[in-house]
A = this chain, B = another copy of it.
Amino acid sequence: MKFNTHIQNLPIYEAGKPIELVVREFGINPKNIIKLASNENPLGTSKSVIKTLQKVAKNASLYPDDSFYELKDALANLYSVKSENIVIGSGSDQIIEFALHAKTSDKNAILVSGTTFAMYEIYAKHTGAKVYKTQSKEHDLNEFRKTYNEHKNEIKVIFLCIPNNPLGDCLDASEVMKFISEVDKDTLVIIDGAYMEFAKFKDKKKAINPKDLISKFPNALYLGTFSKAYGLGGMRVGYGVGNSELITALHKLRAPFNITTLSLAAAIAAIKDKDFIKKTLKNNLKEMKVYEKFATKNGIKFIPSYTNFITFIFDETKNATQISDNLLKKGIILRNLKSYGLNAIRITIGKPEQNKRVLGELKKEI
């Protein structure tokens, strides 16, 4: 059977290996497995969310309130915007998908950083769009400016991953705002704030305020997620914040019931549990220093990270694939960044005891 031509060469996203796979492949007891590969919250799920989920489990047969009224209301309060400025997605991934299906096609292009979240490129290619990348791996706004100005008529969407996954680098909010002000009003600028909670806790200069952003720029879309700081990676809830005209267009592409009944309840409960977020952010900042110290001591290159992970970049004397494969056999799942073209390993900042074991085992491999 013939398929649409742009499907043939679609790259496939390589997800972090799940615990179940390591159990199946290496017969390791799940209790002895440490997974710091997918930037999940190492503190797990907040107790109040678990309680909520256990209570609403009986509602699994019922479709959710498809208006997502209560969740939008909670997010609108959190960001001092209106419900009409919010669209809910099955992860912020899905908002990326909506935005690209609304703006791009095989007649135009997107612009992304040299090394950034792989799904921008994959979803763009779903629509047949071309992908321009800056040369530097980290975000460099002067390179963005240069490429944008060269291909202004073609580029319809620009992605800024603030802070950047999988490298951890983060532009200052003021630089980002200045850049958007220079961009044509018909070019959509997507600020992916999946890790923003960690960035602004570390350094206020990184804090992008969605309200400011969307009131100044009708062509800006802010993305947030419940998968990281909120500890709901498995529940698939993300959101977009934008001008109401933009949000209305994205809503047209949203399938009914795109998040589950239990996900909806979990996200509403997660917003309320401020203590859990605070604990998460504090553990992250404290334990990040343990990794930085280890890297410095062992001559491993890393980019100061504003996220809940750190990326160790190895020189040619070391092989990231071999190192991560060896650790995998010991039940330690980290993220080999080979698919990003890097000789590097991304490690989610875990709990103190996890980090100790990971660094102990890593030490033996380098």
- Residues of A participating in the B interface, judged by any CB pair closer than 8 Å: 1-4, 7, 10, 12-13, 15-16, 18-21, 24, 35, 38, 40-41, 43-45, 49-50, 53-54, 57-67, 69-70, 90-91, 93-94, 97, 101-105, 119, 123, 126, 185-186, 188, 218-219, 227, 231-236, 245-246, 249, 251-253, 255-263, 266
CA distance A97 to B98 in the complex (A): 13
CA distance A2 to B251 in the complex (A): 15
**Contact for A126 among B15, B101, B188, B246, CB less than 8 A:** B101
- Which chain B residue lies CB-closest to A16? B63
A-B contact pairs, 26 of them (CB 8 A): A1-B186, A1-B249, A2-B186, A3-B102, A4-B102, A7-B101, A18-B65, A24-B69, A43-B61, A44-B58, A45-B60, A45-B61, A49-B57, A49-B60, A53-B60, A57-B57, A60-B231, A61-B232, A90-B90, A90-B255, A90-B258, A126-B253, A235-B262, A236-B257, A260-B260, A260-B262
**Contact for A252 among B10, B45, B227, CB less than 8 A:** B10
Residues of B within 8 A of A67 (CB): 18, 21
Residues of B within 8 A of A246 (CB): 1
- Which chain B residue lies CB-closest to A53? B57
Residues of B within 8 A of A16 (CB): 63
- Which chain B residue lies CB-closest to A37? B63
Contact A57 B60 (CB under 8 A): no
CA distance A58 to B249 in the complex (A): 36
Contact A266 B60 (CB under 8 A): yes
Instruction: Return A215 CB to nearest CB of chain B, in Å.
Output: 15
CA distance A211 to B19 in the complex (A): 32
Instruction: Return A120 CB to nearest CB of chain B, in Å.
Output: 12
CA distance A21 to B64 in the complex (A): 11
Contact B24 A103 (CB under 8 A): no
